Structure 1
């Protein structure tokens, strides 16, 4: 009688190179295997056309190949099969020494009262780059029908087993135990498909971070047109073939009923597109106001986080329900949790863009201050910011009229962010050798002179603003004066910058004023049902930043303390500006 062993990882030699129309959960949990006592090969009983009952009567089994030399199998002694049954282990319980309750989140949500959202619902053909230039990306956008989004998604009946086959059964996957919100180690797509498509589930598990960009499955997906047009990685990162790049553009999320993802902000303040293929989702959104971001920062750093429902700490939390076929754009910085009422499959992706640069940088700062592990941050964020600086410097030089007021405001913030690095590279900086090297490592090779780049970026945004494309307050307080950047004259002489370039303003005066909207014009905009584009509206009447070219102090670089003060002023003023607009919108 041959010994019955676990067959996990074995391949049946009779069907190894054939496609089998058998669900993975059946293959893994109930399909009968039988082992040859001569060559020790395991085969599917179904491939041998042996009924399961007959396998029970075989004592010594000989496969077809071994039958030629050792004769037929010997019957009537023992059992030669494996049901591939595995012990049911709650990994989170073993690690934490407690029994988690995966359904506690549903009970918590049922006891809470959430506000009804007033976010925009638009048609796919309306969501164009011109629409974004007019309305911005300040609140979630819901598209109930994907027609007009110019995207390609998997068919609505796709299974996790099919996804596993497309991305590779051995592909590692991060699985989250919903009861503890902790990751479970050592899972791959084969094991996950077996769990998801199987008839028995002893845990509530969730997968929200399977990146599929460089797989055959990912190749069959096309993101919405608006995402492709906005995405910094898509438009600014150099040739992505054979080099590393931020692989965050395409995720497959697979959640079973009652899955819950606790409140979070997407890494690097990135925005997200979210399309429900199957099932349904419920989102709980908290606006990224200065007060809410401070509370969030304290909450994620608190040892009481697991015992505190974040929505209880804030004033406003909005509920949004999505069903199969719905698409949503989640803008920068929105704090949100997600509940899954039914088994669901979702395609989504993260992207940085130029319409909320300030909040993106603020979220990145929160991640650094709260020591978020590198694994959970936007990859190559600083390098991506340098590429963005190079890109916008070129746009400002060639055709600044193509930039919206949102982007012009953000370019100032981006310039200040990059100046924080170049200031530490100056010879008079107190930065350590390690700090300098880390900064240099994050500067792309394509940018040979980062100081020159930041100076020209500052000069060009200075000129655009002073040309009158924005309105400004005439009154400026002393504490709003910001030392933007001044590169050393000797550096300019060595870098080939012309004398004209040395006229860069070294002072920026910050002023944020309430947005003024032409309500009559907005009411007059009627989106045609069949139109795939909209007329470009006039820009918002903003007062954001003003520069004073005559206000110079010295040709030295700003100190780290000055830069930190600048960044803090910008963040506070922008938050006040956005909070005021949101309050007005919610009130209306």
Structure 2
């Protein structure tokens, strides 16, 4: 394998996360940090000379500015091309424009009045301005806090996103480089920082978000700690902008609501109401190729200008379209949050982002995942309100209605798209079905007492709507919620297994414990075998002692002790005796008897003779009953073995514990070879559907099977009716003969091929 190529003066391999620039002379690549070239400076270089070529060819050649109103300032200014957003000409024109006063839409309120209860009662449709943060729950650094202080608490090496305002383009640079640029007496260009999220830094302890944002946030209230997806951090941003910084019209990702606080400086917001017509115009404008050449405020009826000065807090509700101009150097703090008041608008904004193919970097992290978590919690809230006979608020019902359709769409999209945001512990189909059921119940009872209330508050005798409010208002609701969850867990708990499922689980457990090992007749092996055969099956004993179970069919020691499928057949014809609850070694037949008996029965089945009295008829019904099917499966799995009277069993000795065999020194494999494998025809004769003639033996107590004695994966039919008394096919007999020869040739070897 060839070694990775090395680049730059540092001679390191390529790193996609680091900015690099190519020399136009030697065509070698260099890290910008190694040759002192920032990413936003690289666009200004026309011909770059690396440090190796610069001594011979001179310094790099810079681009020539030909205009001040285009993103590409090298274009010739012929007066035909319109002004683009963010350029110096655009900013001057914007400052000279006349707009509707922001006082028409701003709601000036004291901080202590801006609470979750107030917004739930009165709704949140217009921006709120707070001049005094007292009572708002907001905690910030002192106004003397500077950008140098940001570098100290955040770290100068932190890579941040910086916007080149004149080009409206994003680039990356280290925080310490931005601080150097900020304090330059002459700034060559306008750079703006608006996406420095500092929740993972030391500065996070110095900023506490407003209580209303904390209490209403979906992430803070509904995001589980054990979520597979990483928790979104969008609540704490530091915005550092220089004079004339501009951000064009946009809707915050996912339709989130925003809180801003200007620590020092000033910002000007140009705001547009999110009506249906304005949102349609915004989507068309965003997807147009000449977006930067059209001022969106001119396309709508009214655009409001709101000046936010030092010490003022601004809260913008869901979906408001806004642009921001930094009229003077400014530091501000802000954050985004989703909430229950405008779920429909949030979903519409998210779907608009998908249609516009917005990059993931500029979308709310795991928006669909948080919606699934919210849907699950809102379902619990609706159930609790219904149990309390308390009508839910109108905004909550409308929000759930608007949430159901996107959830269905996202669930269908999971089939075609590999990325899935459906949480693992949520059953999406059931969740959607139950949400739909709750909405139908509310619609059916809308004419009665359960009609959703128009007032959205939790005071004045109204019922609280959000989960956090429910917990604060009435602690008794927590107990009822816990009881309801317990009932749901019991209902959704593991279902009572059927008889065939029990048989399947038992068979798997037996096969798991069966291992191929030497069956040497030595003192270290025989006592455990005898001990195992003298033990009682725990499951069988428990079923015999406790008949009050959910099992429809209960087997114990090969007998049906309880059958709830038919009336009057709950127990077997003969009671279970205490003496028969143990499987002794003497109850098993000797190998010679089993061979003789199987040969006789095979002869009988082949010749088709008359049945003796007491024997079962070989004529089987074409559709066997469940009991017969289970008995047949038990016999095929080796879970039934014929039982003999106790007095006859005591005189017989199991073949594996015979002293004569042990004295001869023959291995267990040789003992098996002397008899040969039991034919399935004989096994079908011995495994009669009459449960009274058989004793259930726990396979885990029996000795491990030799590889040649294990059942084939594709065994022939058990019933003689299926084989119609025919001899095995010639090919099958030949295979058995070959297997026997191989075993006899290798019976003294430790490894079978």
Residue 423 of structure 1 and its aligned partner are, at CA, apart by 4.9
Cα distance 1:535–1:399, how it changes in 2: closer, same or farther (>3 A)?
closer
Alignment partners' CA distance in 2, 1:133 and 1:278: 31
Structure 2 counterparts to residues 286-301 of structure 1, below 5 A? 286-301=272-287
CA distance in 1, matches of 2:167, 2:289: 14
Aligned position for 1:411: 400
Answer yes or no: is 1:434 the counterpart of 2:419: no
- In the other structure, the counterpart of 2:432 is 454
Partner of 2:90: 105
Instruction: Find out whether 1:333 has 2:319 as its counterpart.
Output: yes
Higher mean Cα deviation, 463-472 or 274-283?
A: 463-472
- Tell me if structure 1 keeps the 8 A contact 2:391–2:449: no
Q: Deviations over 1:239-282 (max 9, x none)?
A: 27996121211111111111111101101111111111111111
Q: CA, structure 1 residues 274+471, in 2 after alignment: closer, same or farther (shift >3 Å)?
A: farther
Gaps of 5+ in 2: 1-9, 11-34, 47-70, 75-83, 464-753
1:443 is aligned, of 422, 428, 446, to 422
Q: CA deviation at 1:106?
A: 2.5
Alpha-carbon spacing, 1:225–1:516, altered in 2? closer, same or farther (3 Å): closer
Deviation at 1:204? Answer: 1.0
Larger gyration radius, structure 1 or structure 2: 2
Does structure 1 residue 176 correspond to structure 2 residue 167?
no
The higher-RCO structure (CA 8 Å, 6+ apart) is 1
Q: Deviations over 1:223-244 (max 9, x none)?
A: 0000011100010001279961
Quote the Cα distance in structure 2 between the aligned partners of 1:92 and 1:86. 10
Unaligned residue ranges in structure 1 (runs of 5+): 1-8, 10-83, 426-432, 474-511, 519-532, 540-588
Cα 1:536–1:141 shift into 2, 3 Å: farther
1:120 counterpart residue number: 107
Q: Match of 1:274, SS?
A: strand
What is the Cα deviation at residue 102 of structure 1?
A: 4.0
Task: Measure the CA separation in 1 of the matches of 2:182 and 2:274.
Answer: 34
Decide whether the 8 Å contact of 2:121 with 2:455 is kept in 1.
Answer: no
Shift of 1:517: 8.6
Q: Quick one: structure 1 residues 264 and 92, their matched pair in 2 at CA, closer, same or farther if it must change by over 3 Å?
A: farther
- Provide the alpha-carbon RMSD of the alignment: 3.2
Partner of 2:445: helix, strand, or coil? Answer: helix
Q: Secondary structure at the match of 1:355?
A: coil
Matches of 1:130 and 1:171, distance apart in 2: 39
The total of aligned residue pairs comes to 392
Given that 2:121 and 2:458 are in contact with CA atoms closer than 8 Å, whether structure 1 keeps it comes out as no
Q: Could you tell me how far 1:198 is from its partner in structure 2?
A: 3.6
Contact 1:130 1:536 in 2 (8 A): no
Q: Aligned in 2, Cα 1:97/1:125: closer, same or farther, shift over 3 Å?
A: closer
Q: Distance in 1 between matches of 2:178 and 2:391?
A: 46
What is residue 145 of structure 1 aligned with on the other side? Answer: 132
CA displacement 1:78-101 (0-9 Å, x = unmatched)? xxxxxx998997455459752597
Distance 1:397 1:144, change over 3 A: same
> How far off its partner does 1:417 sit?
1.5
Q: Structure 2 CA distance, aligned partners of 1:240 and 1:159? A: 38
With structure 1 as the length reference, what TM-score do the two structures score?
Answer: 0.62
| Cα pair 1:396 1:461 within 8 Å, conserved | no
Aligned equivalents of 2:224 and 2:340: distance in 1?
18
Partners of 1:87 and 1:381 in 2: CA distance:
33
Q: State the alpha-carbon separation in 1 of the partners of residues 173 and 319 from structure 2.
A: 30
TM-score (norm 2): 0.49
Question: Of residues 283, 289, 295 in structure 2, which corresponds to 1:303?
Answer: 289
Q: Secondary structure at the match of 1:192?
A: helix
Secondary structure of the structure 2 residue equivalent to 1:218: helix
Change in Cα spacing, 1:537 to 1:446, as seen in structure 2 (3 Å) is same
- Correspondence for 1:253: 239
Which residue is 1:363 aligned to? 349
Give the whole-Å Cα distance in 1 for the aligned partners of 2:374 and 2:266.
Answer: 36
Show CA shifts across 1:183-239 (max 9, x none). 1x3401111112223433111110101111111101221100000111000100012
Contact 2:40 2:164 in 1 (8 A): no
Q: Secondary structure at the match of 1:458?
A: helix
- 8 Å CA contact 1:130–1:537 kept in 2: the answer is no
Instruction: Measure, in 2, the Cα distance between the counterparts of 1:302 and 1:179.
Output: 20
Change beyond 3 A, Cα 1:417–1:536: farther
Residue-by-residue CA offset, 1:95-142 (whole Å, 9 max, x unaligned): 975259742232221342211122211111111112101221111111
User: Where in structure 2 are the equivalents of 1:156-167 lying within 5 Å?
Assistant: 156-167=143-154
Q: Equivalents in 1 of 2:38, 2:340: separation in Å?
A: 50
Question: How far apart, in 1, do the equivalents of 2:460 and 2:327 lie?
Answer: 40
Structure 1 residues 469 and 162, CA gap change in structure 2 (3 angstroms): farther
When residues 178 and 281 of structure 1 are mapped into structure 2, their CA distance, relative to the original with a 3 A threshold, is: same
Shift of 1:446: 2.4
Q: Give the Cα–Cα distance (whole angstroms) in 1 for the partners of residues 455 and 221 of structure 2.
A: 30
Q: CA deviation at 1:467?
A: 3.5
